[in-house]
Amino acid sequence: MKFRDGKINSMNCVLLVLVSLVCLVLSNVNAHAQSSYLTAFRTRYPATAGTKLDVCQVCHGASTSQWNPYGQAIRSLGSGVNITTRITNVESLDSDGDGINNVTEINGITFPGDPADPPSAPVAPTISTASPLPGGTVGTAYSQALAATGGTSPYSWSVSAGTLPAGLSLSPAGVLSGTPTAQGGYNFTVRVTGNNGASSTKPLSLTINTVAAVTLTSLAINGPSSVNESGTATYTATAGWSDGTTSTVTPTTWGFNPATTFASISASGVMTTQAVTSNQSVTVSASYTFGAVTRSDTQPVTIVNVMATLTGLTINGPSSVNESGTATYTATASWSDGSTSTVTPTTWGVSPATLTSINASGVLTTQAVDTDQTATVTASYTFGGVTRLDTQPVTITASAINPPASATTASTSTADTSSSWGCAVAGRNATGDPGIDGFLILAPLGLVAWRIRRRKR
C-alpha cells in the first residue's frame, strides 16, 4: 500500500477487507466440506479412521476445488440426498475404472477414485456355512443353501474336490439339493468365487442315512357322502404307514359293496351315477396292496334324486263346446328332466266371463248364445317358485232351436203324393218376437221333421 500525505489510500483499504472476507468464507466452506463428507465417510467405514483414506483427497483431487471420479459419483446423486445414502449407493460402482468396485477398494484401504492405487489383491468371500451339513435320508428330497460373507457379490459356487452324494448337485447359487439314492458319509470341498474373481474354499461333510422299511397299516377313502343323480364325483384314497406318515395312493381296485346298478366307478376313482326316482344308498369300496399287505376301506354314499323344475304348461280339452253345455279341461306340466305329468292348475280362468265360466276342477260351463262365439280358457301353475301359463281358444257353438208352439202356414206345395209333402212355416220365438222360419217335411209314414234357421233381427 502506498501512503499519500501520511494517510492510507482508502481504495486499498477496501480491497484489503474484501480479500480477508473471501479467505474467511473459503476457509469455512472447506471446513464444512471436511466436517460433513469426511465425517459421513468415517461413519460408513470406521476401519478407515487414521489411515491414508482419512483425508479430503478421498473425494477430491490435488486440491479441494477439484473432485476425483469417486467424489464426482457421490455429487451426481444430488444435494437433496443424504450424504451417507449417497456414499452407500456408489459402493457397487467402479468409479476409477480399475476393475475393482468402490467398496472393495475402501475395504482394502486404497483410494476408490484413483486407478493408480488398486488394492494389493482382490478380497475373497469367506464361506460361513458350518460343517458337517445336516444329514439326509435315502429317497427323501434334500435341500441346503450354502452361505458366504465378504468379497464382492454376487457369488458363484462349485465343487472343487471330492464327490457329492449320489442324487445331489450344487447349483451356481450355492444350493445343494436333490434326492439321495445311496447311504454313506461324504466329504467334499466347495469353492465360492466373488464377482471380483477372488475365491475361497472350504471342506464340508454330509451323511446320508437309510430308511427303515415301512409297512402299510391302513387305507381311507376320501370323497363326498352324496352325489346327485346323473352326476359324477371323484374319490381318492390315503394310505397309512407304520412310521406314522400318510400318503395318497391309487387303489388296486375300486368298486361297490354290494354291487349296484345305480352307479359305476372307474379305476381312477370317478363315480358316475344313474337317474333315480328316489334317494338311493350305495357303498364305495377300495383296496390297496403294498409289500404283500392289503388294506381296504368303504364309504357310504347317497345318490340324490334331484327334483325337476317346471318348464311348461299345456291345457288339454275340446276346442268347441255347445251353448248351455259343459266340458272338462285338464293341464299337463313339462319338467326339466324331460318328463310330463298331469297337474291341477293353481288358477283356471276364461274370458269373456259373460259367455262362460270355469271352476277350480277345470269344468267349463257355457251360456246360451245366438251365434257361435269365441272364448279363451287360461290356466297357471306354480311349483318350486316357478310359474308357467297356457291359453286355449274355445268356440261356443249355437245349437238348433225347437219349433214354435204355433206356426202359420206360409205356403204349401205338393211334391210327391206317394212319398212326402212339405210346407214353409213362419212363427215366433219364446218371447213372441218373429225370428224363425223353416220347412216342414211330411213323410208318408207320418214322421215330421223341422229344419230350423234363425234369422238375424
- In sequence order, what are the residues at sequence separation of 6 or more whose Cβ sits closer than 8 angstroms to the Cβ of residue 358? 329, 348, 349, 350, 364, 365, 377
Are 134 and 144 spatial neighbours (Cβ–Cβ below 8 Å)? yes
Second-level CATH architecture of 216-304: Sandwich (2.60)
Amino acid, single-letter form, for residue 353: A
Which is more confidently placed, 360 or 338? 360
Task: Say yes or no to pLDDT of 400 above 70.
Answer: no
pLDDT at residue number 38: 85
Per-residue three-class SS string for 203-270:
EEEEEEECCCCCCEEEEEEECCCEEECCCEEECEEEEEECCCCEEEECCCEEEECCCCCCEEECCCCE
**Most confident listed range (108-117, 151-160, 387-396):** 387-396
* pLDDT recorded at residue 240: 96
Q: What is the pLDDT of residue 293?
A: 93
Q: Which of 66-70, 296-300, 410-414 has the lowest mean pLDDT?
A: 410-414
Asked whether the predicted pLDDT for residue 28 surpasses 60, the reply is: no
Look at 385 and 6; give whichever has higher pLDDT.
385
| pLDDT-above-70 percentage for the chain | 79
- Structure confidence at residue 338 (pLDDT): 86
Q: How confident is the model at residue 100 (pLDDT cuts 50, 70, 90)?
A: confident
* pLDDT interval class at 333 (50, 70, 90): very high
- What angle is formed at CA 80 by the lines to CA 76 and CA 86, rounded to 5 degrees? 50
At residue 55, φ and ψ (nearest 5 deg) are: -140, 165
Per-residue pLDDT reduced to its tens digit, 232-259: 999 999 999 998 999 999 999 999 988 9
Kindly tell me the sign of the dihedral angle through the C-alpha atoms of 15, 21, 25, 27.
positive
pLDDT band at 8; cut points 50, 70, 90: very low
412: pLDDT strictly greater than 70: no
pLDDT of amino acid 35: 59
d(CA 118, CA 96): 9
Task: Look up the CATH number of domain 126-209.
Answer: 2.60.40.10
The pLDDT confidence band at residue 10, using thresholds 50, 70 and 90, is low
Mean pLDDT over each residue of the chain, to the nearest integer: 83
State residue 401's pLDDT score.
Answer: 57
Residue 90, pLDDT > 50, answer yes
Determine the straight-line distance between the first and last CA of the chain, rounded to whole angstroms: 150
Residue ranges, CATH 2.60.40.1080, the chain: 310-397
| DSSP tag of 81 | S
Task: Retrieve residue 225's grid coordinates.
Answer: 357322502
Q: Annotate 20-39 with DSSP letters as a single string.
A: HHHHHHHHHHHHHHIIIIIH
- pLDDT recorded at residue 218: 97
Predicted confidence band of residue 105 (pLDDT cuts 50, 70, 90)? confident
Residue-wise pLDDT for 153-162, tens only, equals: 899 999 999 9
Please say whether the beta carbons of 95 and 70 come within 8 A. Answer: yes
Every domain range in the chain assigned CATH 2.60.40.60: 216-304
Say whether pLDDT at 370 is over 60.
yes
CATH 2.60.40.10, the chain: domain bounds:
126-209
What's the rounded Cα separation, in Å, for the pair 263 and 223?
15
Distance of alpha carbon 415 from alpha carbon 279, whole angstroms:
80
CATH pick for 310-397 out of 3.40.47.10, 2.40.50.1020, 2.60.40.1080, 2.30.40.10 = 2.60.40.1080
Q: Average pLDDT, stretch 379-398? A: 95
Q: Span 25-32, mean pLDDT?
A: 44
What confidence category does residue 428 fall into, taking pLDDT thresholds of 50, 70 and 90? very low
Whether the pLDDT of residue 342 is over 60: the answer is yes
Among residues 343, 331, 350, 355, which one has the least CA distance to residue 383? 343
Amino acid at 313: L
Question: Which set of grid coordinates corresponds to residue 187?
Answer: 466329504
| Residue of 156, 94, 95 whose CA lies nearest to 124 | 156
In the chain, how long is the greatest CA-to-CA distance?
Answer: 188
pLDDT score, position 63? 79
Burial of residue 130 (number of CB atoms within 10 Å: 0-12, 13-18, 19+): exposed
User: Which band of pLDDT confidence, cut at 50, 70 and 90, is reported for residue 18?
Assistant: low
Integer angstrom CA distances of residue 203 from 179, 256, 273, 345, 412: 21, 60, 63, 91, 144
What would the pLDDT profile of 295-325 be if each residue is shown by its tens digit? Answer: 999 999 999 998 889 999 999 999 999 999 9
> pLDDT at residue 36 above 90?
no
Query: What does the pLDDT average to over 78-92?
Result: 89
Give CA torsion, residues 43, 48, 54, 59, to 10 deg. Answer: -80
pLDDT at 27: 44
Confidence of residue 273 (pLDDT cuts 50, 70, 90): very high
pLDDT exceeds cutoff 70 at 222: yes
Q: What is the pLDDT of residue 433?
A: 45
Which amino acid would we find at residue 102? N
For the cut 90, the answer to whether the pLDDT of residue 4 exceeds it is no
Q: How large is the C-alpha radius of gyration of the chain?
A: 56
pLDDT at 440 over 90: no
